Structure 1
Amino acid sequence: MSNFDPNAILRGAQLTFVGAHRALQNPDLFTTTHYRQAAIAVCAGLAIRIILNIPIYAVKFALLVTSLFVNLDQETWDDKLVNGLDFISKSVLQVPFFLMMVMSSITPTLDNLFMDSLAWVDRTYLQKHKAEDPSALRGLYYPTLSMYSTHGNREKKEQRTPLDGLISVGMKYSRRAAISLAIYALTFVPVIGRFVLPAASFYTFNKSVGPVPAGIVFASGLVLPKRYMVSFLQTYFSSRSLMSRLLEPYFSRIRFTKQQKKIWFLDRSGVLFGFSAAFAIMVKVPLLGVLIYGIAEASTAYLITKITEPPPPPGSETKLFIESEVRWKNKHLLLNLPIAKLDEFNARMTGAETVAKSSVPETPRRTFA
């Protein structure tokens, strides 16, 4: 529960707004290149949305034709059918979110946006602390992170194509959509249907964040209407998937093992959920979703500077750095920081300092700028 407590979620939500504000101050965010790529992404997303919604359009057209011969003004089943299909498309199958995943897998725009924003965060930090002793400042993120390859060796780079990324996203989405549809269909089964969503949510939350949040969600699922429960669960799943995609530029350079990455996410789960939940909802907005996704990626560069330490240059120290980053050492400092100081937080902690600070409940000497 400690990783997913309300304070951690609230702090993540605060980082959302501070990070977005910082990202939007970056003049490089509004370059012609980004605008052109955003326009292409919007048009592509609109085309894919139309293709995926063809079955819904077909049903609506059939109802329109039927209304010419049958008076449907006094009927309600047709409205329920259309609303149900829209709900399945947006909340169960998460079609708008799928579009964002497709865009991020076939274009390097978001990776470039992340790195440009990371450089901006570093420049802003140096500007704010130019009068201070350079040796007392935190290390920079962009110069060393830009040294890392995003593709590993050249052979893998040559074999990887945008089509490969599209196929990978499509397979993951298809598997997730099939499971979502199956669970949603089971909710209509008499007697056991009302327990399907609570049980599925308990299993997922218990596996991800522990039994206490899982128990709360399970109890809520027994009394809340099914529509609200589905929307909540899909928002949670979408936020997790979104956060994973937003952090891809970082993890494609700093290569954790699968187990290390799992612990990394679990240790920061509350903050990451709070950060990504608002973006997961906003990316569903038609047409504007792609632009919001870009702002989310730019904001993630700011988030990285709060929940990780600056990486060393590629080399022998990288493995030790990754091992030290699996656990979030400055969590208690960030979560207990007043919101007015949030933008100034930059902890520089070694393993020894971490032990000392966690065992002595005193104000840190030089934690805040």
Structure 2
Amino acid sequence: MSNFEPNAVIRGFQLTVVGTVRALQNPRLFKYDHFRQAALAISVGIIIQIIIQIPIIAVRFFIWSSSWIVNLEDATWDDSLLDGLSFMNKSVLQVPFLLMTLLKYVTPTLDEIFMDSLNWVDTTYVHKHKTEDPRTLRAMYYPNLVQYSTKDGKGKSKPIHEALLLFLKRYGRKFGMLVGIYFASLVPIVGRFVVPAASFYTFRNTVGTTPAAVIFGTGLVLPKRYIVTFLHSYFASRSLMRELLEPYFSRVRFTSEQKRRWFLDREGVLFGFAFAFTFVLKIPIFGVLMYGVAEASTAYLITKITDPPPSPTQGEGFAETQVEWKNKHDFLGLSLDNLDKLNVAAHEQNPPKPETPGRKFA
């Protein structure tokens, strides 16, 4: 199962819990600006939900009106249609995720949450190990990373409309694919094989042929609704993780190929980390508030799956050194209460070299 082994997924979920607890302990997380954006997102989210409900209400009114002319007591298509619309609204459209992602292109609050939380992670780490020899501790992440510019090599930021267009293209492609699979599954006879086949094709390259075949067989037995929900949650968690990591990648520049390999080597942990947040974000109102917590927790995740960055003047070639997660197997074998132990052990065995400050274990 390569990088998607169960142990990696479980460790990713554990990092979700630990990262959330650490993030909520930061008193600066609840600054006024953060809550103002959350309040705005909630208000807009309620308006969007009302707009989405309009066609559903219209369909219900049409069915109710038709019942005065046509006997629908023995019919099942009306219930299936309403259930399908409700399912699309709650499980496929995923309005909270779309809304919060769009807002990040308008205001830099989520980026500020990430950097502030990264500073808090460093502070907490130093406090936790204050009785130990400072020379055995890992390098800090925030002091150097905050010096990296989020602008390109020409000193310019990507225009908002370009960033929005790229995101909407990615979202539209995945949304279109999920909707296409859902409607193709309604085709008589062959429809019942569409979702299991799509699941097999999606997971074969990720988890291997045998586990993908198990998912395919399960899809033939379980109701279609559960398989579509799982398939959508898989894609949604991948998209969410990429968005949460954007503050890091906007500073540490990776090529497209380097980023692809970076994600591939950490795929199991990243999926486990984002999967729980994917479901939490679907909760009305509460999910919007948790998006900021998810961003804050990602700062903790970064310190476990990457090396501390060097100063920008020494950062040339740093991205390539991060493509491979060097201490992955050792980290996955640590107990939950010893997630910082590898940092100390690594430095004791391999003292850091001044000319390569970015090569220390995270």
Q: TM-score, with normalisation over the residues of structure 2?
A: 0.89
Give 1:64 deviation, angstroms.
5.0
1:13 maps to which residue?
Answer: 13
Q: Give CA-to-partner distance per residue, 1:191-239, whole Å, 9 cap, x none.
A: 3222222221222222334334323322322222211110111111111
Report matched runs for 1:1-369 at 5 Å.
1-65=1-65, 77-153=77-153, 156-157=156-157, 160-161=159-160, 163-315=161-313, 317-342=314-339, 345-346=342-343
Residue 343 and residue 50 in structure 1: after superposition, are their counterparts in 2 closer, same or farther (change >3 A)? Answer: farther
Q: Which amino acid aligns with 2:159?
A: R
Asked if the contact 2:9–2:271 (Cα under 8 Å) also holds between the matched residues in 1, the reply is yes
Match of 2:354 in 1: none
SS in 2 for 1:265: helix
Match of 1:361 in 2: none
Counterpart for residue 353 of structure 2: none
User: Partners in 1 of 2:345 and 2:58 — Cα distance?
Assistant: 58
Change (3 A) 1:125 1:83: same
- Letter of the structure 2 residue corresponding to residue 160 of structure 1: P
Match of 2:356 in 1: none
Shift of 1:11: 0.7
Give the match's secondary structure for 1:255.
coil
Q: Compute the displacement of 1:77 (Å).
A: 4.1
CA deviation vs aligned residue, 1:218-277 (integer Å, no higher than 9, x gap): 232222221111011111111111011111111111111111111111111111111110
* AA of the residue aligned to 2:328: K
Q: Hey, what's the Cα distance between the residues in 2 that align with 1:42 and 1:153?
A: 36
Aligned residue identity for 1:327: E
Q: How far off its partner does 1:341 sit? A: 1.6
Paired AA for residue 267 in structure 1: D
Whether the 8 Å CA contact 1:113–1:297 is kept in 2: the answer is yes
Tell me the CA shift for residue 155 of structure 1: 5.7
Question: Does the Cα contact within 8 Å between 2:41 and 2:99 map onto a contact in 1?
Answer: no
RMSD (Å) for aligned C-alpha atoms? 2.6
Partner SS, residue 194 of structure 1: helix
> Once structures 1 and 2 are overlaid, which stretch shifts more, 290-299 or 164-173?
164-173
Tell whether the 8 Å contact from 1:93 to 1:177 is kept in structure 2 after alignment: yes
User: CA distance change for structure 1 residues 343 and 59 in 2, over 3 Å: closer, same or farther?
Assistant: farther
CA distance in 1, matches of 2:344, 2:5: 22
SS in 2 for 1:23: helix
Sort the Cα spacing of 1:151 and 1:52 in 2 relative to 1 into closer, same or farther, 3 A: farther
Distance 1:50 1:151, change over 3 A: farther
Number of residue pairs aligned between Structure 1 and Structure 2: 352
Hey, what's the Cα distance between the residues in 2 that align with 1:195 and 1:319?
Answer: 50
Determine the C-alpha separation between the residues in 1 that align with 2:240 and 2:75. Answer: 40
Amino acid aligned to 2:221: V
| TM-superposed deviation, 1:47 | 2.2
2:287 is aligned with what amino acid?
Answer: G
| Sequence identity percentage | 56
Partners of 1:75 and 1:288 in 2: CA distance: 38
**Distance in 1, Cα, partners of 2:36 & 2:202:** 40
Relative distance call for 1:331 and 1:347 in structure 2 (3 A) is farther
Cα gap change, 1:150 to 1:348, in 2 (>3 Å) = farther
By how many angstroms is 1:187 displaced?
Answer: 1.2
How far 1:93 sits from its partner (Å)? 3.3
Deviations 1:295-327 (A, max 9, x none): 111000001111111000113x42332111101
220 and 319 in structure 1: CA distance in 2 versus 1, 3 angstrom threshold: farther
Per mean C-alpha deviation after superposition, the further-off stretch among 118-127 and 49-58 is: 49-58
Distance 1:96 1:65, change over 3 A: farther
Residues 164-210 of structure 1: per-residue CA shift (max 9 Å, x gap): 43333222222222211111111122332222222212222223343
The offset of 1:54, in angstroms, is 3.3
**Structure 2 counterpart of 1:320, which letter?**
G
Change (3 A) 1:203 1:75: closer
- Residue identity opposite 1:288 in structure 2: F
Change (3 A) 1:99 1:60: farther
**Structure 1: gaps spanning 5 or more residues:** 354-365
- 1:48 is displaced (CA, Å) by 2.8
